[in-house]
Amino acid sequence: MAIDEAILDDLALGATVLGTGGGGDPYVGRLMAREAIRRKGAVPLVGVEQLPAEGLVLPVAMMGAPTVLVEKLPSGEELARVVRALERHLGRPAVALMSAEAGGVNSTIPVAAAAELGLPLLDADGMGRAFPEIPMCSMHLAGVAATPMALADEKGNLEVLETIDNFWTERLSRSATVAMGGSSIIALYPMEVRQVRGAVIEGTIGRAVGIGRVLREARSGGAGVLEALLKVTGGRRLFTGKVVDVLRRTDGGFVRGTASLDGIGPDEGSVLRLEFQNENLVAVRDGLPLASVPDLLTVLDAETHTPITTEGLAYGQRVELLGIPAEAIWRTPAGLALVGPRAFGYEFDYIPLERGEAGERGLQAGD
């Protein structure tokens, strides 16, 4: 498969579903990738087995608060600059780029970078969704160092970090990103291809393309959009409501906040609180935890079934909240210690979607 303009739209849509409200506005990244593809050609999507074992793979992403990206756009030159900086630092060229996470802009930024540099894109990511912090990825669990890491902004600033561990990478790069105005382009977690297998979540890009295609085709068919989406994702509808309040702030390089929903239709009389840190983290219904990280909590417009990012939530929207099971790696003890609800400061343990309050309330897929 090669990612051309047509496939790019499906990728951006499907990755925004997987991005659980985070990963940045897909519109900006899609424009950047589309322009790069028009000038340089489609981007080959490859598997690990198609790359040389000693070759260098570099994940590329945007870092920072998604709200900032609405007004502070990348110039586009940062993409090549961070890749070339790590190539110089490591003394070898990259053979492929990779998405760090499945999310709106962070699904398409690597496509733009790959097109600009004439490199293939690995069909993988480090999360199978989006998480807000650098160590919250499969590469970290596999013992891969996040540094050397390169950061660049639209003004021409460039920084290369070497840190003692991945948590220090998060602290120092977050501080640098805040100083750069709240967002930056990054390349990090450099890996040889021999390290990649077992350290990444394979097939994520293809999965996102498939989700986007199903959603697009269901829309054009005029019926059964939600049912089709639930089937392709293995998800379930958790709540239908109207957004009655959104408290949102940009703090320390993240967008944090809470959205309050009044139930409508089958959920009339209930109230849901959705809390987020770039990505949707926990959903609390009538004071009881309904679902949480690491499972995916995705908000859709109730009429168009377009996924809504956390910076796009607004008063008056009629929405559906979907729950999608997380990748198996995040349901392990090590995965939950890193990205479970307690890792984000919530005082309750993770309960899988299929065994939690959602199941007890009888909210089955397609209801």
**Each residue's pLDDT tens digit, 25-54:** 788 889 999 999 999 999 999 999 999 999
Q: How far apart are CA 165 and CA 274, in angstroms?
A: 32
Summarize the confidence of residues 79-88 as an average pLDDT. 98
SS (H, E, C) the chain: CEECHHHHHHHHHHHHHHCCCCCCCHHHHHHHHHHHHHHHCCEEEECHHHCCCCCEEEEEEEEECHHHHCCCCCCCHHHHHHHHHHHHHHCCCEEEEEECCCCHHHHHHHHHHHHHHCCCEECEECCCCCCCCCCCCHHHHCCCCCCCEEEECCCCCEEEECCCCHHHHHHHHHHHHHHCCCEEEEECCCEEHHHHCCCCEECHHHHHHHHHHHHHHHHHHCCCHHHHHHHHHCCEEEEEEEEEEEEEEEECCEEEEEEEEEECHHHCCCEEEEEEECEEEEEEECCEEEEECCCEEEEEECCCCCECCHHHCCCCCEEEEEEECCCHHHHCHHHHHHHCHHHHCCCCCCCCHHHCHHHHCCCCCCC
| Angle at the Cα of 32 from the Cα atoms of 87 and 57, rounded to 5 degrees | 25
What's the rounded Cα separation, in Å, for the pair 363 and 232?
18
Given this model, what pLDDT does residue 358 score? 43
Report the pLDDT averaged over residues 218-233: 86
pLDDT at 357: 52
Do 151 and 185 meet the contact criterion of CB atoms below 8 Å apart? yes
With a cut of 80, say whether residue 24 has pLDDT above it: no
Model's pTM, two decimal places?
0.92
What is the C-alpha separation between 337 and 315, in angstroms, rounded?
A: 34
Q: Where residue 80 falls among pLDDT bands split at 50, 70, 90?
A: very high
Distance CA 307, CA 25 (A): 11
Residues in the chain: 367
* pLDDT at residue 255, rounded to an integer: 84
* Mean pLDDT calculated for residue range 103-130: 95
Assign 240 a pLDDT band (cuts: 50, 70, 90).
very high
Alpha-carbon distances of 210 from 96, 203, 294, rounded to whole Å = 22, 11, 22
Mean predicted confidence (pLDDT) in 318-342: 97
Q: Are 212 and 14 in contact (CB under 8 A)?
A: yes
d(CA 175, CA 166): 14
For residues 47 and 202, is the Cβ–Cβ distance under 8 A? yes
**Mean pLDDT, to the nearest integer, of 177-200?**
95
Domains in the chain, please, with CATH? 2-204 (3.40.1610.10), 232-360 (2.40.390.10)
Residue 131: its pLDDT value, please? 94
Mean pLDDT, the chain, integer: 92
